[in-house]
Amino acid sequence: MKKNKPVFGSLGSNYSFTFACQTLWWYVFPPNSAETQALLAEKLQEIFPDFSKPHFFATGRDAIQFALQNLPITPGTKVLTQAFSCAAIEEAIIGANMLPAFVDIGEHSPNLDVTTLQTAYEKNPEAKVVLVQHLLGYPADVAAIRTWCDERGLLLIEDLAQAFGGVAPSGGRLGSFGHVLVTSFGRDKIIDAVAGGCCLFRQGLLATERAPQQLRSRSTWRQAVYPLLTVSIRATFSLGIGKVLQRGAQKLGIITTPVLRMTLVLEKLSVGQAKLVLEQLGRLPSQLNHRTLIATVYARLLKKYLLAPDLQTSPYSLLRVPLVVQDPDQLAADLKKSNFYLTDRWYRAAVDSGSVVWDSAYHSGSCSQAEKLARSVFTLPTHAQVSVATAVRLATTILQLLEKAPEYMVQEVIDKEIWENWIADRPEANFLQSWHWGVFQERLGNKIIRLGLYRNGSLTGVALGIFERARRGSYCSFPGGPVLDWDEPRAVAAMFSEIKTIVRQQHCSFIRFRPQLVDDEIARAEVARLGTLKAAMHVTADRTIEIDITQSEEQLLAGMRKNTRSAIRKTEGEGIRTEVSRDPKDIQNFYEQQRLVAERHHFVPFSYKFLFEQFQIFAQENQAFLVSAYQGTQLLATAFVLTYHKQAVYHYGISTPENGKLPGAYAVQWRVIAEAQQAGCTSYNLWGVAPPGMDAHRFAGVSLFKRGFGGREVQYLEAQDIPLTQWYWMTRAFELFRKWRRHL
């Protein structure tokens, strides 16, 4: 079995090999200092236009110290800053001859808030400054904090080291609320140039603006080699070489802790680091998108352990995702066995100085929420080295370590009422996993299996499987399913373990399924853990248009294209009438017309039995109808519609040559919407549409027509295969060849 690549919480995990080479190059051949400084200053002022020119320093703590030293306050002033923080913040405050006054964090948050600020301020009424950190990239309610500060005449400093590029809960760019903005460009921050920091004052804040100091000519040799060293350690860690390199570099003092740096002089930012910052600012949007995506994986799979319950819906620039667990150190030790090295969990104390001894001014017991969180927090990385697949694996591993494996049982469901009652509570389920679809398949002569996934006696998932016997091979198909909680990996594993056993017993060479999962990287990573391949052939329509039909007639028409609205309104003037039928006998005419359409467009039509049995079974429950449009006695178009689970589906349709000159098809769709509304449906699914630009797609011919009706376009995960025998590869080769030959 292939061993998983090691994943680190930090250890230069923001760096690529290209980045490491750039760092060395700009150490040996520094860029133009004046030009780089001007470009970086211009870029930062473009992002924060209400601030004056930035001042650059070798570290973020130097930037904080400089900011405090230049504010219109006297030495010895108290600065309100949160507990659950790095000791570097306290170091900067003390270095500026100020006094830290610690503020507790809010409930379910890593940040201070107005309530905890007020409590701390009542104990320290002489305080003149509030420093907000937006810890871990999770934004504090900075708009409310700024209002609170203004009411009391306090100055606000926003530290963006862990939240650069983020958005406040109330809207607005983080950093734009404070009187002063500071940030770090140090290791493992959002903007990571190995070292560095900057400070910007709001325009008009200072009576006399200080001229920005010039960048220094080059970085230190340790800063220059650190990225390449860490890239090398990560690349060779599994071989044992990386472990030796890491220990050796630590003993030689090449890799040192960045937590504290006891110097009295504020140091300049190097021109090489400034160049790295400038380049990373250009890539910031893509980096933040990646971090958001990885955070979403953790939020979906580990939601019960999230510190912040609203994590899934807020626009964060999360540096790390905080979990609350019983024993973080034990979890970190256990994760090492699966090649996850996350011992640097941020933070272990109310004021954390890492392995360095630091005599903090913090008094134990003064900030109970911060101390409680420090004992229980475990932070997960979102950096570039963490792919979606890696995040899914990490989250799944954490679940296995934190929870006793639930006892799942899979057994056949033979009671229609149990099946349908459970399906009714699943908004993603459609008619393809209904009881009736199974009956229909049996009428066609197909063997089916209805499986239920039970946890502690309660039904938590269903899967309707259809055994397909075709010339290209035997397999079991699950259209629109299985229906279960895909964000619960153990439930998925239990269901598919039983499916594989049953399907093998039926001598099938593979499993093919197309679940009702919206297609995204997370969904693809979740199913990939089952050993899937993208199927060579489709199962059902995986791209569709869904129209909200709870809207009024005026709202529906307003959402359509102008040409579509005009065609609908034109139908009355053309004398077009529509009829609705729920009589299975009318399928005969639909079949004949479909056969004629197939002759004109050269495709294989559905058999009469296929159409009749399907319509008859659903019509018995008043879940199927035909809508036809006529001009006089001339048929123009017909829609075959199924209604299930409060959704109407335009499953099949035909049109006659006469429809090409008249808006009969538009009249049909408008009548379908009216009938679906009357039947209590809330949405109308137009079924398949082709992806934009795919002219050879099987739905290309009708896509323009369907898109004219408005609605939202949804791309579901495409059909997936799980190979079970070597015969699968012959089937796959045959299907790929047929797909190529038919230009599908």
Q: What is the DSSP letter of 306?
A: B
How many CA atoms does the CB half-sphere of 78 hold within 13 Å? 14
Fold match between domain 15-218+257-282 and domain 543-715:
no
Q: pTM of whole model > 0.75?
A: yes
Torsion of CA 515, 520, 526, 530, to 10 degrees: 60
- At 474, phi and psi to the nearest 5? -95, 135
Residue 341's φ and ψ, nearest 5 degrees, are -110, 90
What secondary structure letter does DSSP report for 71? S
- For the domain made up of 543-715, the CATH class stated in words is alpha beta
The DSSP element (H or E) to which 449 belongs, if any, is: strand 447-455
Tell me if residue 448 falls in helix, strand or coil.
strand
Which residue is it, tokens 């994760």? 335
Dmax (CA) for the chain in angstroms is: 95
- Average pLDDT along the chain, 744 residues, taken 10 residues at a time: 81 94 95 95 96 95 96 96 95 95 96 97 97 95 97 98 93 95 96 96 90 90 94 94 92 78 76 96 94 92 89 72 96 96 91 87 95 96 95 95 91 96 92 96 96 95 93 89 93 96 95 94 92 90 94 95 94 92 96 91 88 96 96 95 95 92 95 96 93 78 92 95 94 84 62
Strand order of the sheet with strand 543-548?
576-581, 624-631, 634-644, 647-655, 683-688, 543-548, 712-715
Which pLDDT does position 62 carry in this prediction?
A: 95
Q: Which fold is adopted by the domain 408-534?
A: Aminopeptidase (3.40.630)
DSSP string, 627-674: EEEEETTEEEEEEEEEEETTEEEEEEEEE-GGGGGS-HHHHHHHHHHH
362-368 long-range Cβ contacts below 8 angstroms, 24+ apart: 362/83, 362/90, 362/100, 362/102, 363/102, 366/83, 366/102, 366/104, 367/82, 367/83, 367/84, 367/102, 367/103, 367/104, 367/105, 368/104
Spell out the SS3 assignment of 107-154.
Answer: CCCCCCCHHHHHHHHHHCCCCCEEEECCHHHCCCCHHHHHHHHHHHCC
Asked if residues 417 and 621 have their Cβ atoms less than 8 Å apart, the reply is no
Give, for 612, the enclosing helix (H) or strand (E). Answer: helix 608-619
**What pLDDT was estimated at residue 616?**
96
* Antiparallel, parallel or unpaired: β 351-352 and 99-103: unpaired
Q: 15-218+257-282 — its CATH code?
A: 3.40.640.10
Handedness of CA 695, 698, 702, 704 (dihedral sign): negative
Domain ranges in the chain are 15-218+257-282, 285-401, 408-534, 543-715
Pairing of strands 543-548, 712-715: antiparallel
Q: Give CA 496 to chain center in angstroms.
A: 24
Note the CATH number of domain 285-401. Answer: 3.90.1150.10
Please report, for residues 47, 70, 471, 735, the alpha-carbon distance to residue 744 in angstroms, rounded to integers and kept in the order given: 47, 68, 19, 11
Distance of CA 539 to the CA centre of its chain: 26
Distances, alpha carbon 664 to alpha carbons 591, 596, 628, 637, in Å: 18, 17, 8, 6
Q: What is the dihedral of CA 545, 550, 553, 557, to 10 degrees?
A: -30
Give whole-number Cα distances, 681 to 415, 416, 621, 643, 684, in Å.
25, 22, 15, 7, 8
Supply 7's token pair: 């994943």
Q: Specify the 3-state DSSP secondary structure of 339.
A: coil
Q: Which of 307, 331, 372 lies closest to 137 in space, CA to CA?
A: 307
Is residue 547 within 8 A of residue 684, CB to CB? The reply is: yes
Q: Residue 554 carries which DSSP code?
A: H
DSSP 67: H
Which residues are CB-neighbours of 688 under 8 A, at least 6 positions away?
541, 542, 543, 544, 698, 699, 702
Is the CB of residue 234 less than 8 Å from the CB of residue 12? yes
What one-letter code names the amino acid at 320?
R
Give the C-alpha separation, 684 to 674, whole Å: 10
Q: Which amino acid is at 32?
A: N
Q: Which residues contact 695 (CB under 8 A, 6 or more apart)?
A: none
